Amino acid sequence: MSGEAGPGSSGLPRYLVREATADDLDAIANFEVEIAQVSFGDEAVTDAGLHRRRVGAALGKPGEITLVAAAEAAPGEPVGWVWLSGRTNSLTGARYGNFRSLAVADVAGRSRIGELLLAAVLRAADEAGLRQLTGKVHARNLGMRALYRKFGFEATHVTMEKRVAGAGGPGQAGRSGGAGRAAK
């Protein structure tokens, strides 16, 4: 898969989107650590080796769409990354795509690179026959929420979370599970 974006009037470099390879794993692992920190703060899993192994297992696997963006002048140096996994609804058997990651380095043209990656993964999802796509985003990640909206995504569920004391001390608090009861 390949996609390109020209510099337009901004003077930014041209970018290309290509399939992620094993040579990209160090850069991708760093993106995954950044995503974890944005999403989970002090509880983030920041072990780059763990992220490298997890992503490495997905590269080239059927049903996994893993793409990187790079400047045309430096195609081996990813400045962004996106991962979409094909899934099957266990109740209906319908196929759908689940966004796992989208991250862009803090470089000039960051928003444009994010748009280029999202457009490329949407094309790949369409080619794979995935007609519904889902993705989670941290409530405070306004940039990603805006990018999703720009591409026609709508909020359909809200995850509610409460930390409970006990359960093993600080940082070990359990997460409440299941569907809570509404107060009357």
pLDDT, tens digit (0-9, with 9 covering 90-100), for 168-177: 555 444 333 3
What is the pairing mode between strands 2-5 and 78-88?
A: unpaired
DSSP state of 13: P
DSSP state of 175: B
Measure the CA–CA gap between 24 and 9, rounded to whole angstroms: 30
**Least confident window among 9-23, 50-64, 121-135:** 9-23
pLDDT value of residue 115 = 95
Global pTM? 0.80
Q: Does 11 or 110 have the greater pLDDT score? A: 110
Residue 154 pLDDT greater than 60, yes or no: yes
Measure the CA–CA gap between 13 and 45, rounded to whole angstroms: 33
What is the pairing mode between strands 95-104 and 64-71?
A: unpaired
Place of tokens 């992620």: 20
- The residues spanned by each domain of the chain are 2-150
DSSP three-state, residue 137: coil
The contacts found for 61-64 with CB under 8 angstroms, 24 or more apart, are: 62/86, 63/87, 63/128
Across-strand partners of 123?
Answer: none
Paired tokens of 36: 């974890």
Residue 77 pLDDT greater than 90, yes or no: yes
pLDDT value of residue 10 = 59
Q: Pick 2-150's CATH classification: 3.40.640.10, 3.40.50.720, 1.10.287.810, 3.40.630.30.
A: 3.40.630.30
Residue 50 pLDDT greater than 70, yes or no: yes
Residue 135 pLDDT greater than 50, yes or no: yes
